[in-house]
Amino acid sequence: MTADAPDSLTDPATLRDREAVAVREETQVVDAAEFADTTELESHVVVGVASEAGVLLQNDGHHGWTLPAFPVEAGDDWLAVARREFERLTGVSVTIDAVERLRAHEYRVPDTGDSTTVYNVVVRTTPTARIPEGPQSRVDGTEIQWFVDVPEHAPGPVAADVELFVD
C-alpha cells in the first residue's frame, strides 16, 4: 500500500480532505416522491486493475462494461469490501495502491431539507497473482474481460473512471 491509500476507509466523505484524491460532487434537487427512490440507491467501491492486457472490466448484465464495482453498506470498511469482493469475482486478491477518485451525488428535497448522498470510491489496485488474459468470473451472471480502450457507449462517469486505468 502506498502513502496515497489509507489502511481502511469507513467514511468516504473524509476523502474530500485528501489532496491526492480527485473529488467530483453533484447535487440534484428532487421532489419527495423521487427522493424515496434515491434512498434505495447503493454506494459502491470501484476497483481498477490494469496490466499489459489492458484494464479489467465487468459486465453484470445491468450496467454494461464497467470497472468492477461492489456495493458498500453503511459502516463497512470500503477497502476491505474492495479486496474481498474482487477476490470473490476473480479468485485473485489485490492490494490497494491508492484512492483515485471520490464521486458524491447528493439528492436533496428543498421543501423538507431531506438529503442523501450516494458515493462511488475508485481505488487503484495491484493483483497479488497474475489474472489470465482470458479471465473467468466466479460470480454467476457476471462476465469479466480485459479492454485496451474505454468501451463504446460507456456513460460519462463510467468512461471517466475507466480512463484512469487505460494506458
Q: Is 167 inside any structural domain?
A: no
Q: Is 2 inside any structural domain?
A: no
Q: Is the pLDDT of residue 131 over 90?
A: yes
Q: How many domains does the chain have?
A: 1
Q: Is 143 inside any structural domain?
A: yes
Mean pLDDT score across all residues of the chain:
94
User: How is residue 6 written as a grid cell?
Assistant: 489509507
* CATH code for the domain in which residue 32 is found: 3.90.79.10
Q: Regarding beta strands 94-108 and 115-127, do their DSSP bridges make them parallel or antiparallel, or are they unpaired? A: antiparallel
Q: Is 3 inside any structural domain?
A: no
3-state secondary structure of 14: helix
Q: Is 115 inside any structural domain?
A: yes
Q: Is the pLDDT of residue 24 over 90?
A: yes
Q: Is 80 inside any structural domain?
A: yes
Alpha-carbon distance of 138 to 154, in angstroms, equals: 24
| CA distances (Å), origin 90, targets 16, 47, 67 | 30, 12, 13
Q: Is 164 inside any structural domain?
A: no
Domain that holds residue 121: 12-157
Q: What is the pLDDT averaged over residues 141-155?
A: 95
pTM, two decimals, is 0.93
Q: Is 153 inside any structural domain?
A: yes
